[in-house]
Amino acid sequence: MTHMPGRHFLQIPGPTNTPLPILAAIAKPTIDHRGPEFGRLGRTILQEIRPVFGTTNPVVIYPASGTGAWEAALVNTLSPGDRVLMFETGWFATLWSRLAKRLGLEAEFLKGDWRSGVDAGAIKARLAEDRSHTIKAVCIVHNETSTGVTSNVAAVRRALDAARHPALLLVDTISSLGSIDYRHDEWGVDVTVAGSQKGLMLPPGLSFNAVSDKALAAAKTARLPNSYWNWEEMLAANATGYFPYTPSTNLLQGLAVALEMLRAEGLPAVFARHDRAAAATRACVAHWGFEIQCRNPAEYSSALTAVRLPDGHSADALRAEILARSNMSLGNGLGPLADRVFRIGHLGDFHDLMVTGTLAGVEMGLRVRCIPHRPGGVDAAMQVLAGHAGPAALAAE
C-alpha cells in the first residue's frame, strides 16, 4: 500500500469523524454488562440521551445500524397489512418504504422530486381523504442525506392535527440528530429514529427509538412479529440500567463521552456551528457557479450540501481525483443522483478550519479535472466564517 501522509479528511455525511476522547472511551477495557458499573453507565446514558432528542420520554438503544431503528419503529407500532403514508424525499425515504413493504405493510409513497422536502400540504390532503383512518402511520425523513434537504417536521404535525387524523408520526433523524435542531415532544413525534454515526460522533453500531406515550400504547396492540426489537422487554430492563441481551458495551462507553461533549458545548451552540459551516459551504458552491441539489433555501440542510456538477462532468471522477490527491473522501450520489452530485458532509466533530480545508480540496480537484468553475470559492466561505458575508454568501442564502 502507498502511504498517504497527513490525516484523512472524512467529509462524507456519515459516518463522521470520531473524536479522540470518544475513541479512548471505546478502547477502554470491556466491562461486565451485568455488573454494577455497567448499571450505573446504563442509567446515566438512558437519562442523558433524552434532551438530545428533545424528549422526557424513554429512548430505546439497540446494537444496530439506523436501518434496525427503522424496523423497530414499525414492528413495535403496527400490524400486518397496515397502511403507512410516506413521502419520497430521496434515497433513504425510498429505502424505508421498501423495508415497510417487506414487513407486510402497505406503504403508500407520495411522489417527490428529490430536490424538496416533505410537502405537508400533500400529507394533509391525503389524510383528509382517509375518513376511515386506514392510514396508521405517517413516516418521514427529517434530513434526507442523499439530497441535503431538511423537512419541516412541525408542519407535518400541524397537517395531521388539521386533518384530525389519529395516525402515528414516525421521523427518521439519522443524519440530523445532534446536528440540526430537533424537538420530539414539542413537535408531537411518536417515534424518532436515529443512529450513532453522525451527529453523535460515534462509529456505526448503535441505533435509537425515542417513543411517545401514544407509541407505547400502540405497541400493546401491534401484531407485527418482533423479538430483538421489542420495546417492552427493553424498557423493563432499562429501568435498572441494563439490557435484555448483550449490548454494545464499548460503544455505550463512547456514547457517555459523546453526550458529555454535546452537553459541554451546548446544543444551541452545536446547531449554530453546523448552520455556520453549511452557510459557508453554500457560499463557496454559489461562487463556483454550481447548483445545490436542494431547491428551496428554507430547506437547506445544515448537516451536508449536495452539489450538482454541470452536464457532461462526472461527480465520481471528481471524488476519485480528490481522494487520490488530497486524501479526502466526499459522499457519492445515490440512486438517480449517481455520478451527478457529490456530497460534502459538515456534521459531527469539526471546526471552521476543517470546513475551509475541505472546500480547498474540492476546488483543487475542480481545477485538475478542468471542470468549469469560478475560482475563489474558499474565500467566499471564509467571509461567511469570519462574519463578513459578501455577495456570494448572500446569493447562497
**CB-CB neighbours of 29 under 10 Å:** 7
Q: How far apart are CA 12 and CA 348, in angstroms?
A: 11
Give the separation between CA 114 and CA 111, rounded to whole angstroms. 9
Distance CA 178, CA 251 (A): 17
Region label for 127, one of left (φ > 0), alpha (ψ between -120 and 50) or beta (otherwise) = alpha
For residue 22, the surrounding DSSP H or E stretch is helix 20-26
Contact by Cβ (8 Å): 279, 397? yes
How many other CB atoms are there within 10 angstroms of residue 133's CB atom? 12
Q: Given phi > 0 = left and psi -120 to 50 = alpha, else beta, which region is 72? A: alpha
Residue 170 phi/psi, 5° resolution? -115, 130
Question: CA–CA separation, 7 vs 354, rounded Å?
Answer: 11
Contacts of 259 (CB under 8 A, 6+ apart): 45, 48, 49, 52
- Please give the DSSP secondary-structure letter assigned to residue 300: B
Residue 265 CB neighbour total at 10 angstroms: 12
Residue 201's CB: how many other CB atoms inside 10 A?
27
Beta bridge mates, 192: 171, 210
The neighbouring-strand residues paired with 328 are 9
Q: Is 40 annotated as a binding residue?
A: no
Q: How far apart are CA 255 and CA 300, in angstroms?
A: 28
Query: Quick check: helix, strand or coil at residue 19?
Result: coil
For residue 47 the three cell numbers come to 437519562
Residue 375, all three cell numbers: 475560482
Decide: helix, strand or coil at residue 84. Answer: strand
C-alpha distances (whole Å) from 229 to each of 40, 96, 128, 270, 339 are 23, 16, 32, 31, 36
Positions at the binding site? 343
Positions at the binding site for substrate? 343
